[in-house]
Amino acid sequence: MTPIIAIVGRPNVGKSTLFNRLVGRRKAIVDDQPGVTRDRNYATVKQYDIPFTLIDTGGFEPVTDDRLLQQMREQSQLAMEEADIILFVMDGRQGLTEADKIVAAMLRRVEKPVFYVVNKVDGGKQELDTSDFYRLGIGELWPISAEHGRGVDDLMDGVMPLLPQREAEPGEESLTRIAVVGRPNVGKSSLVNRLLGFERVVANPMPGTTRDSVDTLLTWHKKPFLLIDTAGIRRKGRISLNIETYSVVDALRSLDRADVALIVLNAEDGVTEQDTKIAGYAYEAGRACIFVVNKWDTLEKDNSSVGKFVDQIRTDFKYLPFAPILFISAKTGQRISSVLSEVNKVMGQYARRVGTGELNRVIAAAVDAHQPPVVMGRRLKIYYGTQVSVKPPTFALFVSKPEGIHFSYERYLTNKIREAFGFNGTPLRLLFRGKEKK
């Protein structure tokens, strides 16, 4: 399981700026007004030696009657419970506050590594002014400027050795892990029960029944599968209870453990905005995806019903054009037998390797049919490519100017590789690297 790092601290100390710096892009909204980040923001960071999930939290105000700040405090507490390492960020310009002292006292009782980070330290003089923070009774301070990057590399050099390393489990290579994800009350638990053939998971029409992920082993046609039934992911605005908020973290961590994501949609509701966000989590995690449209038996249908629903899915999930679509009824068992069959099919693609020679013949044909763009007056050259990993299939292409590859040309090459090798149910990753001609 990917380790988790949580960034906590009072409002407006620069947590989101640090989050963006570590992620390498502006994923969190940054504003000078306190309380802009009201909910946790998640990202997978892969630019360091060990990939990790980073959580940006709303400001932690330890003593407040304001309901919004109380909710932000709950968010921070949940992030601290989930995290393997905590970055406690304070404001070097404002100096040590009473709220910082209270939070630090709470963190001293946490049995996990805590890094005490003083942000907005832009120079040597300001770094001298941070000595007041040692009154917290801590061993080491980490002065940084998240905005300018000063001291951030030193901070991460201290963090990385303390991240837990994921160990392979017995039989991991042969086991297909399936995360069943979706909004509350779309029938996830009913689907799991139908696949298992017995009531392994409590199914209840009340939204939010499933609080934690439930893992169940299943053998189908002599092949082992692990079903992970997740808590329903609610819209952020509807998360109020601590236990509901935890469900979001749990579902995201379940996707992190999975190979294949069954994205369950409710046929009665059509596609909702929250459905697109959930599918986005699965896509960003690099999981093979299958849309499972549940409760199909409850609709009045004609010859065009399936086609219209497929069109809606393809329109609303443009980033998942490869994902198969199944129409089922978990309640009646309609077309349930197709689910594991489709999982088995996409898993074969998700773990597929192709030969370097075959790959380069496909790339050469694609380049002949559609030349790469011109960069600084010279046409970009693609020298060769090779597959570097699976789950998902990932290819490194060595080119003359990696920064010159436009996303549209990357999409073109991805589609050509997908068509040539039958990667119809899995995401593909293309990495462009600079190298002299081989």
- The conformation of residue 134, written as its DSSP 8-state character, comes to G
Residues 69 and 193 in one domain: no
CATH number at residue 285: 3.40.50.300
When pLDDT is cut at 50, 70 and 90, the band that residue 220 belongs to is: confident
The SS3 call for residue 415 is helix
Burial class (CB in 10 A: 0-12, 13-18, 19+), 404: middle
Kindly state the tokens that stand for 198.
Answer: 């017995």
Q: Is residue 10 part of a domain?
A: yes
According to the per-residue pLDDT averaged within each range, which of 45-49, 97-101, 386-390 is highest? 386-390
More confident residue, 128 or 319: 319
CA distance 199 to 266: 21
Instruction: Flag whether 170 is in a domain.
Output: no
Average pLDDT over residues 33-59: 67
Confidence at 137, pLDDT banded by 50, 70, 90: confident
Lowest average pLDDT, out of 26-40, 307-321, 401-415, goes to 26-40
> Judging by beta carbons within 10 Å of its beta carbon (0-12, 13-18, 19+), is residue 109 exposed, middle or buried?
exposed
Q: Are residues 119 and 12 in the same domain?
A: yes
Per residue, what are the HEC states of 202-225?
Answer: CCCCCCCCCCCCEEEEEEECCEEE
Q: Are residues 312 and 381 in the same domain?
A: no
Residue 171 lies in a domain: no
Identify whether residues 256 and 116 lie together within a single domain: no
User: Structural domain of residue 321, as residue ranges?
Assistant: 176-350
Q: Where are the alpha helices (DSSP H) in 160-259?
A: 188-196, 242-257
Top mean pLDDT of 203-217, 235-249, 401-415 is at: 401-415
* Pairing assessment for the beta strands 374-375 and 378-379 based on DSSP bridges: antiparallel
Among the three residues 130, 162, 194, which one is the final residue of a domain in this structure?
Answer: 162
Q: What crossing angle do the helices spanning 152-159 and 15-23 adopt, rounded to 10°?
A: 80
pLDDT tens for each residue of 223-269: 888 888 776 555 444 444 444 444 455 567 678 789 999 999 999 99
Determine, yes or no, domain membership for 184.
Answer: yes
Report field, pTM of the whole predicted structure over 0.85: no
- Burial label, 39 (beta-carbon count in 10 A; 0-12, 13-18, 19+): middle
Q: What is the CATH number of the domain that holds 386?
A: 3.30.300.20
pLDDT above 70 for 64: no
Q: Which amino acid is at 68?
A: L
Are residues 301 and 245 part of one domain?
Answer: yes
End-to-end CA distance of the chain: 37
Mean pLDDT of 338-363: 94
Asked, for residue 310, whether it belongs to a domain, the answer is: yes
For residue 105, CA distances in Å to 100, 109, 371, 396, 435 come to 9, 7, 61, 48, 52
Contact in structure between 382 and 370 (CB atoms under 8 Å): no
Please tell me whether residues 256 and 140 are part of one structural domain: no
pLDDT on residue 8? 87
Q: Within this chain, do residues 214 and 256 fall inside the same structural domain, yes or no? A: yes
Evaluated on CA atoms 272, 274, 278, 283, the torsion sign reads positive
CB 373 within 8 Å of CB 406: yes
